[in-house]
Amino acid sequence: MTSLDDLKKDFVPFDAVMMNFIIIGEMAGKLSEEFKDNDSEVEWHKIYSFRNIIVHDYFGIDEIVVWQIIQTKIPALKKRLDTILNL
């Protein structure tokens, strides 16, 4: 996907992206408070809160916000997690 229009063309990829956000949020919610407190660079509560929004207000999801998260937040999260896992 190279644009928001690509993402919106078909509900299957969009739904897949939403499911992955749910999984990421679920996993963030299962991390220990100690772990999250030791890595305040990641906004863990926002990740879990976004999961709740998707689950409970799916039809109210703003596609532009989703695309912005994909473009800005996910790469930064991946980079941070790579760093954590390589420690």
Q: What is the pLDDT of residues 18-56, one digit of tens each?
A: 999 999 999 999 999 999 998 888 999 999 999 999 999
Calculate the average pLDDT of the chain: 92
**Could you state, in order of their start, the residue ranges of all structural domains in the chain?**
4-85
pLDDT digits (tens, 9 = 90+) for 53-79: 999 998 889 999 999 999 999 999 999
Residue 60: the pLDDT is 86
> What is the pTM assigned to this prediction?
0.87
How confident is the model at residue 40, as a pLDDT? 83
Nearest CA to 7 out of 60, 50, 69, 87 is that of 69
Among 11, 32, 33, 56, the active-site one is 56
56 in active site: yes
pLDDT at res. 19: 96
- Give the per-residue pLDDT at 87: 72
Tell me which of 28, 51, 54, 67 is the catalytic residue.
Answer: 51
Residue 44, pLDDT score: 94
